[in-house]
Amino acid sequence: MTSYLELTDVNKTFGDFTALDGVNLSVEKGEFVTFLGPSGSGKTTTLMIIAGFEKATRGDVMIEGRSISALAPHERNIGIVFQNYALFPHKTAADNVYFPLQMRGVGRTEGLKKAEEMLGLVGLKGFSHRYPKELSGGQQQRVALARALVFEPSLLLLDEPLGALDKNLREQMQIEIKRIQRSLGVTTIFVTHDQSEAMSMSDRIVVFEKGEIQQAATPLDIYHKPQTRFVANFVGESNLVPATIVDGTKGVARTQALGDCDYQPAAPLDAGRPVSLLIRPEHIKLSRQPIDGRKNVSMHVDTIVNYGDNALVIGNVGDQQMRVRVLGRDVVVIRENEDCTISWPSEAVFVIPEGKGA
Ligand code: ATP
């Protein structure tokens, strides 16, 4: 079965610079997919190719099995919201939202009625007669969202739409956008470089790096089962320890700093295979004494960063730096420049293959 939106082998070069290199992606109808990645990794370029503002050097974009690559942006029936609200300053909120309907030949009375309904859906009932300059940043962004949705697009593209908002408003808008997206069931692609935004909003996250997709998976799989070191580092905090497989069936890997570590094997790996062991800081326990049934090692504590409800403890086990996240109260057992025991169960170790065949 074909997916709702499909990108096949999309490449984009600017001169001799390769901005996108073989991007393949399938998006299901109604899905909320987030493009996450560092600046310059190709998120916006991919979005612009879907929207039709950029042309792929190679590859194809299809909606419901039909190529849209030859269509102009306005023929694609796609709603777009950018970071800068780009509202018409001389039009009221209602007229801004009516605009795409007007372009599609919808009469003013019917169009304004639809615009009012859409403004209600985005929480702006009673604001129809205001001009953009009479609206706050968050309200302007809601108008932009209403304008992108009013013509019932087949796809909604959001490019860092919350980037200009302060933290509280940003969180409020994240919840709002998710609510509206669910209620309309519109297939949505959201671009951000904010990992917590990606984690909290998405059905699926697509991690970009250097013009390639590193991994496309649910937020929980991206966090707990990153397929590459890059994803493990980019999403959440991580301890990544170089190791080689000793026994790929039982799940034993050898590290220089931590000795042999048990893990729960998911895929069979050959003995001698180079890997990285991912151990998330919140899965490590810090104590005065070793704890039975866990891997225990002694750590010298360098730095404790207190955040109130939790603290980050940074220390060294031999040459290996380790980061441990502890709840505020647990941190009283340890001081900087002391030694302590850190421990974890084998389930906390996730193995990322390295080198050939990774
Ligand atoms: P950001 O989070 O900073 O917006 P991004 O992941 O969206 O980054 P893109 O805007 O897709 O990244 O850019 C990918 C690469 O392509 C970057 O190195 C960028 O400099 C380059 N690029 C984008 N547009 C052009 C252009 N018109 N001409 C030349 N290079 C471009």
pLDDT of residue 353: 92
Average the pLDDT over each of 14-28, 94-108, 169-183, 215-229 and give the range with the smallest value: 169-183
Q: Is the dihedral of CA 62, 66, 71, 73 positive or negative?
A: negative
Residue among 5, 103, 2, 17 at smallest CA distance from 49: 5
Average pLDDT of span 6-16? 96
Of the residues 10, 18, 44, which should be mutated to test ligand 1's pocket, given the most ligand atoms within 8 Å of the CB? 44
- DSSP states along 28-59: -TT-EEEEE-STTSSHHHHHHHHHTSS--SEE
pLDDT at 357: 46
Report the percentage of the chain scoring pLDDT > 70.
Answer: 97
The pLDDT, as a whole number, for residue 170 is 85
Ligand 1 atom nearest to CA at 208: 6
* pLDDT given for residue 356 in this prediction: 54
* 40 close to ligand 1 (CB < 6 Angstrom): yes
Cα–ligand 1 centroid distance for 159 (angstroms): 13
Report the predicted TM-score, pTM, of the whole model to 2 decimal places: 0.90
- Choose the residue to mutate in 14, 49, 192 for probing ligand 1, maximizing ligand atoms within 8 Å of C-beta: 14
With bands split at pLDDT 50, 70 and 90, how would you rate the model's confidence at 46? Answer: very high
In the structure encoding, which two tokens stand for residue 339, read together?
């030694």
Confidence of residue 119 (pLDDT cuts 50, 70, 90): very high
Q: Which residues are within 8 A (CB) of 200 and not within 5 positions of it... i.e. 6 or more apart?
A: 174, 219
Residue 18 — very low, low, confident or very high, per pLDDT cuts 50/70/90? very high
Question: Which range has the worst mean pLDDT, 46-55, 127-136, 174-183, 329-338?
Answer: 329-338
Query: Residue 127 and residue 123: Cα distance in Å, rounded?
Result: 9
- Here the tokens at position 184 are 């309309």
What letter represents residue 23's amino acid?
Answer: V
Containing H/E element for 204?
strand 204-209
Model confidence at 346: pLDDT above 70: yes
User: In sequence order, what DSSP letters do the residues of 15-29 get, joined into one string?
Assistant: TTEEEEEEEEEEE-T
In the DSSP assignment, the letter for residue 210 is T
Three-class secondary structure of residue 127 per DSSP: coil
- Residue 53, ligand 1, Cβ within 6 A: no
Q: Are 149 and 85 within 8 A, CB to CB?
A: no
Sorted by sequence, the CB contacts under 8 Å of residue 287 that are 6+ apart come out as 333, 340, 341, 342, 343
Is residue 288 exposed (0-12), middle (13-18) or buried (19+ Cβ within 10 Å)? Answer: exposed
Is residue 68 packed enough to be buried (19+ CB in 10 Å), middle (13-18) or exposed (0-12)?
buried
Q: What percent of the chain stands above pLDDT 90? A: 80
pLDDT(278) > 70: yes
Q: For the chain, give the mean pLDDT.
A: 92
Going from the N-terminus, what domains does the chain have, and what CATH number goes with each?
Answer: 5-229 (3.40.50.300), 237-353 (2.40.50.140)
Q: What is the pLDDT of residues 64-84, one digit of tens each?
A: 999 999 999 989 999 999 877
* CA 17 to ligand 1: nearest atom: 30
Mean pLDDT confidence for 27-56: 95
Structure tokens at 190: 């959201």
What local confidence, expressed as pLDDT, does residue 173 receive? 84
Q: Which of 10, 39, 45, 210 to mutate to test the pocket of ligand 1 (most atoms within 8 A of CB)?
A: 45
Q: Ligand 1 atom 20: the closest Cα is on which residue?
A: 40
Please report, for residues 192, 231, 259, 287, the alpha-carbon distance to residue 255 in angstroms, rounded to integers and kept in the order given: 35, 21, 5, 22
Q: Is the CB of 181 under 6 A from ligand 1?
A: no
Q: How far apart are CA 276 and CA 231, in angstroms?
A: 12
pLDDT tens digit sequence for 189-231: 999 988 989 999 999 999 999 999 999 999 999 999 999 999 9
Q: Is the CB of 19 under 6 A from ligand 1?
A: yes
Measured from the CB, is residue 183 less than 6 Å from ligand 1? no
Q: Cβ of 272: how many Cβ atoms within 10 Å?
A: 10
Residue 1 has pLDDT above 70, yes or no: no
Is residue 85's pLDDT more than 70? Answer: no
Q: Which protein residue's CA is at the shortest distance from atom 17 of ligand 1?
A: 40
Sequence-separated (6 or more) residues with CB below 8 Å from residue 294:
285, 343, 344, 345
Tell me the CA–centroid distance for residue 43 and ligand 1, in Å.
Answer: 8
More confident residue, 166 or 299: 299
Between the CA of residue 117 and those of 40, 81, 113, 141, 281, what are the distances in Å? 38, 19, 6, 16, 47
Contacts for 55 with CB less than 8 Å, ≥ 6 apart: 49, 69
- CA distances for 141 relative to 85, 174, 216, angstroms: 6, 12, 28
Nearest to 77 by CA among 86, 89, 64: 64
